[in-house]
Amino acid sequence: MKTDDLIHAIAEDAVPTGLKPQRLLALALAGAVVAAAILFWLLLGPRGNALVSLAEPRFVLKFLVTLGLATAAIGLVLRLIRPGVAPGLWRSALLLAPGLLLIGIAGELLTLPAERWMTVLVGVNARVCLTYIPLMGLAPLGLILLALRSGAPTRPALTGAVAGLIAGGISAAFYAAHCPDDSPLFVATWYVLAIAMLVALGALLGRRLLRW
Amino acid sequence: MQAVSDREAEWAALMRAALGGDRAAYRDLLVALTPVLRAAARQGCLRFGLGVAEAEDVVQETLLALHLKRQTWDDTQPLGPWIRAIARNKLVDAMRRRGRRGAEVDIDAFSEVLAAPVPEDSGIRRDVAKHLQALAPGQRNVVQAIAVDGVSIREAAQRLTMTEGAVRVALHRGLATLAVRLRSSAT
C-alpha cells in the first residue's frame, strides 16, 4: 500500500471511536476499587476496632500513605501515556507518601523504646500482608493495564510499574483496615515489599501489553 | 519558510477539526505532515545504514500510530511535541527491530529534522500489500476499497453491500491490525 493510499484510508476513519484514555482509566479505577473491596470483604474484612482506631494517628497514617501513593501514581501515569508530555511535578508527588512514612517512622523511633523496634517491625501479620496485598491488587492491576492500552506510553515497562503502584496503593489501603499492625516500621517493611511485587509484575506485563 | 510555531498551530487546528469528525481537515493534516515525517525518517534511517524503503515503512507506521493514538493528544497542548514523540518512538522501534540499538538514535538531531524545511518526495515507495493480505477478508476488502481504490466509506458500503457503520468498524479494525502487523514484522 502506498503512503498516499494509507492517508486516504486513515482520513476516512477520522471520527474517534471509543473513550478517551483518561475516561477509560477512570472506569478502570472504579472497577479496581470495587474488585479490591469485594475480595477484601470476602477474604479479610475490617478489624473489629477499625472505626475506633480512626482516632489513632498511626492507623490513619497507613491510609494517608497508601492512598497518597495511589493518587500520585494516577497523576503520573496519566502523563506517561501521553507522548511528548513531561511528568513534571507528578514525579516529585510520588515522594510525598514515602516522605510521610519517614515522618511516621521518626515519630515511632522517638516514642518507642529501642528494644520494641524489632517487635513492631516484624509485627504479627507479615505473612497475611505479603499474601493479601498482592492478591487483592491483581484484578486492579489487570483493569488498569487494560485501560492504559488505549494510551501511548513511550516507556511501557515504567508505565506498567506505575500501574503496579496504583494497584498496590488501592489494595494496601483496604488491607490497612484489616491489619492489626499499625507501626510505620511494619508498613515500611511489609507493605513496601508487597507493593513492590505488584510494581515488578506491572513492569513485566507493561513491557508486553503497553507497546503500540 | 513558514515559522515552525505557525505551522504547528495550523496543524493543531486541523487536528481539532479532525477529532470532531472533519475528514477533509484530517486528510489535509496528514498530507502536510507526511513529507516532514518522511524527511525525519530518512535522515534517521540513513544514519544507521537503512534505506529509503525502510524509511517509508517508518513513515507509514508513524501515520498509523498518530491515527490510532490521536486521543492521547491533549487538545489544549501544542501538537508538535506529541507528533515528535510518536515519530521518534516509531523510529527507535524500527531501529531496534532491525538490530540497531535504540539508544544510538540521536534524539536531539531527530527533533531538529522534524522542524527543518520539507524536501521533495523522491517517489520510492515500499509496498506493504503483503500486510493487507494478512487481514481478515472483511477488513481486507474494506481497507482495499478505501485505501487502494480510493473510494469513500459510503461508496465502499454500496460496493460491498455493507452498512456504513459496518464499513467504518471494519476500516478501523483493519487499520489497527495493520499497525500491529507492521510493528511485529522484522523487514
- Domains, chain B, in order of start with CATH, read 1-121 (no CATH), 127-187 (1.10.10.10)
- Full residue range of the structural domain in which residue A174 is found: 50-209
Query: Residue A80's pLDDT is what?
Result: 96
Residue A58 lies inside a defined structural domain of this protein: yes
Chain A and chain B share a number of CB contacts under 8 A equal to 119
B residues 46-85 near A, CB within 8 Å? 56, 59-60, 63-65, 67-74, 77, 80-85
Query: Residue B115's pLDDT is what?
Result: 52
Query: Residue B128's pLDDT is what?
Result: 58
The total of structural domains in chain A comes to 1
Query: Residue B121's pLDDT is what?
Result: 42
Residue A118 lies inside a defined structural domain of this protein: yes
Query: Residue B3's pLDDT is what?
Result: 67
CA distance B144 to A2: 11
The minimal CB distance from A152 to the residues B26, B63, B72 is found for B72
pLDDT tens sequence across A70-103: 999 999 999 999 999 988 889 999 999 999 999 9
Q: Which residue of A has its CA nearest to B177?
A: A212
Residue A116 lies inside a defined structural domain of this protein: yes
Residues of chain B with pLDDT under 70: 1-3, 99-129, 185-187
Q: Does B154 touch chain A (CB under 8 A)?
A: no
Residue A100 lies inside a defined structural domain of this protein: yes
Query: Residue A143's pLDDT is what?
Result: 98
Query: Residue A153's pLDDT is what?
Result: 96
Query: Residue B2's pLDDT is what?
Result: 59
**Using the beta-carbon criterion (under 8 Å), do B69 and A1 form an inter-chain contact?**
no
**Using the beta-carbon criterion (under 8 Å), do B34 and A7 form an inter-chain contact?**
yes
Query: Residue B94's pLDDT is what?
Result: 84
Query: Residue B53's pLDDT is what?
Result: 78
CA distance A155 to A165: 16
Of A12, A13, A10, the C-alpha closest to B59 is: A10
Residues of chain A with pLDDT under 70: none
Query: Residue B122's pLDDT is what?
Result: 38
Q: Does A22 touch chain B (CB under 8 A)?
A: no
Q: Does A127 touch chain B (CB under 8 A)?
A: no
The amino acid occupying position B30 is L
Q: Does B160 touch chain A (CB under 8 A)?
A: no
Query: Residue B181's pLDDT is what?
Result: 82
Query: Residue B17's pLDDT is what?
Result: 94
Contacts of B135 in chain A (CB under 8 A): none
Residue A119 lies inside a defined structural domain of this protein: yes
Interface test mutation site (partner A, options B52, B67, B164, max chain A beta carbons within 10 A): B67
Query: Residue B19's pLDDT is what?
Result: 92
B residues 96-125 near A, CB within 8 Å? 125
Residue A19 lies inside a defined structural domain of this protein: no
CA distance A46 to A68: 20
B107-118 CB burial, b ≥16 within 10 A, e <16: eeebbebbeeeb
CA distance B75 to B175: 23
Residue A196 lies inside a defined structural domain of this protein: yes
Residue A8 lies inside a defined structural domain of this protein: no
Q: What is the DSSP string of chain A?
A: --HHHHHHHHHHT-S--S--HHHHHHHHHHHHHHHHHHHHHHHT---TTHHHHTT-HHHHHHHHHHHHHHHHHHHHHHHHTSTT---THHHHHTTHHHHHHHHHHHHHHHHS-HHHHHHHHHTTTHHHHHHHHHHHHHHHHHHHHHHHTTS--SSHHHHHHHHHHHHHHHHHHHHHHH-S---HHHIIIIIHHHHHHHHHHHHHHHHHHT--
